[in-house]
Each structure stands twice: as C-alpha cells, then as structure tokens.
Structure 1
Amino acid sequence: MTATLQAAWLIHRRPFRNTSLTVDLFLPELGRVGAVVRGGRKDPLLAPFTPLWVELKPSGDLYSLRACEPRGSRVLLRGKALYCGFYLNELLTRLLHRDDPNPAIWPLYEQALSDLLTDTALDITLRQFELAALEEIGYGVSLELDVQGDEVEPDACYQLNPEQGLVRVETGPSYQGADLLAICQGDWHPAARKAALHLCRHLLAPHLGKRPLKSRELFRGK
C-alpha cells in the first residue's frame, strides 16, 4: 500500500507550520484519511475537485503524503455549483469517520461532482447524494414504509423520527405521503423538492453536530 499510487480526492486542507499542509483525503479503499504534506502549500494539485493519484505512508495518527500526481482534469465548478461542491466535501468531512472505509460512497461522490456540471438542478443533485450517502453509512430511512411496516399512503401524513423512520400522524407538522413517494421515484416536482430539503436536513442534523456548515453560510451569501 505504501509504495502504490491510489486514487483520491482532496476534500479539506489546512496550513501546517511554515510551508506544509494537513489534508483530508477521500479514497475508495481507505475512506477519509488525514495526511501531512511537507512543503505542500504551494502545490497547485492540492486543491479541491482535482482527481489525484497519491502515495501514502503511515505516520502515527496521520499519513504522510509521499507523492501526488493528477488522475485527470480538475472538475471546473463555477458559481453556485462551486459552493455545492464545497458542501459535498464538508459533508464527507463531517459524516465519515477517519480511517473507516466507505467504498460505496466513492461512486456517489464522483457522480455528484459530474452532475454539478450538467443541467440537473443543483438541489436535486445534492438531495440524491445526501439520501444515497445516508443509506450507505447506515443512517437512511425507508420512504416507502412507515415504522409499523405499512406502506406509505399518498394521502396520509407522516412525521420523521431520524432513528426509527416515518410515523403516520393525523395532526401537526408533517410530510405528505405523495411527496415522499415522489422522492423515491425520482419525480422531483416542486413539493417533492421542498420535502426532500427538509427531510435531509432532519436526517443529517444528528450526525453533523451543532457547528454550522461553512459551505451553507457561503451559499447563503451569494
């Protein structure tokens, strides 16, 4: 492993000492790892959205980045799509535990970056990634069955318990069954998109902690 180049994405970087960096890398086999890059602060490759080949060497709690090469052209995100990309990176940084392999998240992330370059609505790309990623790391809930195992009915209303699932209710704030089923079917009409936004915020909240997401603040400022 230490002598082999591995595919990676850089998802976060911080200055370290005078000229170095500490970085969070996302790899298909290792998951999210932390690494020190000696003298790497001016390396143009060490930027978000650049597909990389990296050589890592274990060094205490972190790795040491021994080599870095481009794996392809940088994903050129602009405008709001750029802030959505930062949001994806921040989600990975906050949701994934270090050194915990998550190979199923890798294609989801690469697909989301590709979708940000297309005409697909940005919010739909983010919701698709959030729901699929939550499912893969064990935090997803069924949108077709309630906590009793009964099928979600289009005309019924449901509240969400992030740890258990959907609870059918008669009164109070709720999700319309038809909107939940539309999300499952990829029918992204306006009501389904609004429901998916609140649903994902609700599902993610227990796992992101109280610290606000910087990417959300940047997006609001644009």
Structure 2
Amino acid sequence: MSTAVQQEPAYVLHRRPYRETGLLVDVFSLNYGRLSLVARNGNSQKSPLKAQLQPFQPLLLDWRGRGDLKNLTHAEIRQGPGLTRTLSLYSGLYLNELLQRVLPAGDPHQELFAAYIEALTALSEALDVEPVLRQFEMAFAIALGYGFDWGRATDTGRPVAAGLSYGYHPEQGILQLPQAQTPLTDLPGKALQALAAGEPVSLDSRRVAKRVMRVLVDYLLQGRPLNSRTLFRQR
C-alpha cells in the first residue's frame, strides 16, 4: 500500500542526479530517520526543488510511495542558521557523512535529530568547532548503542582515578585493564575525569576526546572513507 507523509521536518544529507532530470536525495527526518527520496524533474531548470534541496537547510517535506524509494512531492523551506565559514561548512559535511554512511535507513532517532539541529546552530556561531563535533559524536554513539561513561571503567566498574591510565574499546567503553586487542591505550585518568565532569576542556582532555571519538567513528564506518576528512586535511 502506498503511504503519504506531509510536513515532515527533515534535512538534506546528500543529493545526486537521478535519470535525466531527477534528483536522488538522502534526507534525515524527525519521525522516519534516514531515507532516500526521488525528486522527479528536481534537476530541471524550472523546478524550485533544485534550489530548495540544499544541505543544512531546515525543510518540511511531503512524499508518497511504497518500498524503500519514495517520491518527493513538495518541499517547504524553514528559517535556520547558515554555515558560512569554511570550517563550519566542512564540519557540517562531516556530520552529514556520518549520518548518511552509518545510520540505518528507516530507523527514527528523534533525540539525534535534535542533537543535529543543535550542532548546526552551534557551528553557525562557533569559532572553535571541536567541542561541537565531540558533543554530536557522543550523541551519535548513544543513538547507535555505543554510548559510554567517561568517568567509569566498564571492566572493573570503578570510577576513573586521576593517577591511572586507561584504554578504550568501542564495544566496551573505558577500560582500566586494557588487553592486547584494545585499540586505544594510555588515556590519562585526569583528562577522563574532566570530560566526565563537563569541566572547561584542557588541551589534554581535548586530545583524549578526539582520539577516542576517532577510534569509535572508524569502528562504525567499517573502512568506509569520509570525504570531509580530506577537506579538513587540505585546509
């Protein structure tokens, strides 16, 4: 049976040409998660969809159809912050790639949708994007079942101690007694404590957070590259 959806809050993650004049659009929506829509004639010069279906633009979408590929029938632009600085734009592309490549299709994540909006808003204003990216990466990890507590070792159940070093495994979290197969070790307990407390982030704790999240994201990607990382390296 064909279904019809109207006025669904969503964002474009990626779009590409589809057949002669259409667009194939990957979107992240509030109530339907990630899905792909066909905008028929959306790539033609006369179609308003070509200008409307832009990344980071808040939208209300209508679609109908059956199966995995639905037909987009209407798009309405809403007001939202813009990513005008280069670093903010690259950061937004990184968020979109994470969602597009890792998030299962058709799986609603309303809290992650809210975290995405919050991240875009913060990126539009922030000169320092790293805390924004780390916060979204943690929300992303929680949504996929890989959340962890910076301040507690999962293997011993004990709170992290400032004078000890710890490891990290994506499937286990913070480890007091890392094994040979633990992908990340030598994490200072003091930095983990600061991250757990949400204190003003020192250079040491920033590095720890970046290392941990890099390991987690690589694990979730399973070898799939991110084009946005290349952009960051070329700056």
Give the TM-score, by structure 1 length.
0.93
Residue number in structure 1 paired with 2:4? 2
Residue number in structure 2 paired with 1:105? 112
User: Are the equivalent residues in 2 in contact too, given 1:29–1:101 (CA < 8 A)?
Assistant: yes
2:177 is the counterpart of 1:177: no
How has the CA–CA distance of structure 1 residues 3 and 27 changed in structure 2, closer, same or farther, with 3 Å as cutoff?
closer
Q: For 1:22, give the aligned amino acid.
A: L
2:25 is the counterpart of 1:23: yes
The 1-side partners of 2:178 and 2:116 are apart by 38
User: Are the equivalent residues in 2 in contact too, given 1:144–1:151 (CA < 8 A)?
Assistant: yes
For the residue of structure 1 that corresponds to 2:124, the secondary structure is coil
State the 1:106 CA deviation.
0.9
2:222 is the counterpart of 1:214: no
Q: Deviations over 1:68-87 (max 9, x none)?
A: 11122462332111000100
The 1-side partners of 2:76 and 2:135 are apart by 30
The 2-side partners of 1:76 and 1:117 are apart by 5
- Matching of residues 46-195 of structure 1 within 5 Å: 46-73=53-80, 75-119=82-126, 121-147=128-154, 148-169=156-177, 173-186=185-198, 187-195=200-208
How has the CA–CA distance of structure 1 residues 143 and 76 changed in structure 2, closer, same or farther, with 3 Å as cutoff?
closer
Q: How many percent of aligned residue pairs carry the same amino acid?
A: 36
Q: For 1:181, give the aligned amino acid.
A: Q
For the residue of structure 1 that corresponds to 2:118, the secondary structure is helix
For the residue of structure 2 that corresponds to 1:44, the secondary structure is helix
Give the TM-score, by structure 2 length.
0.89
User: Are the equivalent residues in 2 in contact too, given 1:7–1:71 (CA < 8 A)?
Assistant: no
User: Are the equivalent residues in 2 in contact too, given 1:14–1:21 (CA < 8 A)?
Assistant: yes
Q: Which runs of 5+ in 2 are unaligned?
A: 45-49
The 2-side partners of 1:170 and 1:124 are apart by 27
State the 1:63 CA deviation.
1.2
How has the CA–CA distance of structure 1 residues 3 and 190 changed in structure 2, closer, same or farther, with 3 Å as cutoff?
closer
State the 1:47 CA deviation.
0.8
Q: Which runs of 5+ in 1 are unaligned?
A: none
State the 1:140 CA deviation.
1.4
State the 1:123 CA deviation.
0.8
Q: Indicate the RMSD between aligned Cα atoms, in angstroms.
A: 1.9
User: Are the equivalent residues in 2 in contact too, given 1:157–1:170 (CA < 8 A)?
Assistant: no
